Amino acid sequence: MHIDQKTALYGVVGYPLAHTLSPVMHNAAFLETHMNAVYLAFESQDIDGCLKGMKGLGIRGMSVTVPHKSEVIPLLDQVDDLALSIGAVNTIVNRGGVLKGYNTDAMGALKAIQEETDPAGKTCLIIGAGGAARAIAFILKKHGTNVNITNRSLTRGRALATALKCPFIPLEEAGTIKADILIHATSVGMYPFHERCIVTPDMFQRGMIVMDIVYNPVQTRFLTLAAERGCKTIDGLGMLVYQGVEQFRLWTGLDAPFDAMTNALADAMRRFG
């Protein structure tokens, strides 16, 4: 990679960011497509300041992660209809100083799930009430899935369920739901707190499809418990790559090098392990 005064700048903003593999994935894509561009991590709790810096420095694209996915919306110049409907933005495109927000989490999660099953007509329980949970719940409902929400915070969980017009189940009662698909959409279990798990083993039912959006580590405690109970598991790397492919397309107008991005992540996780 040759960096000079013409190098285009992209990045991810969130807090904390010690876990992020997005720079690995997107820099691999830039190298594969011979783009003079670099992708960096900007750890910050000041999302308003980051957007001002994005305009001032001409940063062309930004990924948005926790805790900024919802609070960033009123700070943007434009918001895509899908992201507005979901109520969460994870991708910003800077076109001539106009910042437009998109949501690629939704399609990223859907494609990862569709590799294992058609979610239409199935019952899904989603753990979480943040931006990722909102995106996943919205897109699954749109594709005919019977979505239920559970969350540690009753207030946030009920608010999301009300917004999506779907049932809310308190976390301590969530094991009573006969779900075909169980999705963990919080940051619990993310490195360096990888021994943590938000649920007990009795949540998992044999034959259930279980997905964790956490990708560092790939094999979370949540997925380990699910596998031990006879569930089919989906790790967080699939969603990460699929949403990243769409981000790359939005930023550059080019088809993303899927294999290069996937291989770079796999190499990074081997080194991490």
**Which is nearest to 64 in space by CA: 22, 34, 24?**
22
Spatial distance between the Cα atoms of 163 and 161, rounded to a whole number of angstroms: 5
Task: Answer yes or no: is pLDDT of 272 > 80.
Answer: no
Contact 75, 46 (CB under 8 A): no
Residue 125: predicted pLDDT: 98
Grade residue 37 by pLDDT with cuts at 50, 70 and 90. Answer: very high
Asked if pLDDT for residue 2 goes beyond 90, the answer is: no
Q: What is the DSSP track for 83-106?
A: HHHHT---EEEEETTEEEEE--HH
- Cα 139 to its chain centre, rounded Å, is 13
Q: What is the pLDDT of residue 224?
A: 97
**Catalytic (active-site) positions:** 69
Q: What is the pLDDT of residues 67-111, one digit of tens each?
A: 999 999 999 999 999 999 999 999 999 999 999 999 999 999 999
Instruction: Find out whether the peptide bond into 201 is cis, omega within 30 degrees of 0.
Output: no
DSSP per-residue letters across 1-64: ----TT-EEEEEEES--TT--HHHHHHHHHHHTT-SEEEEEEE-S-HHHHHHHHHHHT--EEEE
- Note if the pTM is more than 0.75: yes
pLDDT beyond 90 at 19: no
pLDDT of residue 159: 96
Residue 168 reports pLDDT greater than 90: yes
Torsion sign, CA atoms 250, 239, 218, 195: positive
- Residue 273 pLDDT level (bands cut at 50, 70, 90): low
Mean pLDDT is lowest, of 55-59, 190-194, 210-214, for 190-194
Phi-psi bin for 144: left (phi > 0), alpha (psi -120 to 50), beta? left
Average pLDDT over residues 8-18: 95
pLDDT digits (tens, 9 = 90+) for 201-226: 989 999 999 999 999 889 999 999 99
Cβ atoms of 64 and 17 within 8 Å: the answer is: no
Residue type, 256: A
Query: How far apart are the C-alpha atoms of 185 and 89, rounded to whole Å?
Result: 15
Residue 232 has pLDDT above 90, yes or no: yes
Portion of the chain with pLDDT greater than 90, in percent: 89
Write the pLDDT tens digit of every residue in 120-164. Answer: 999 999 999 998 999 999 999 999 999 999 999 999 999 999 999
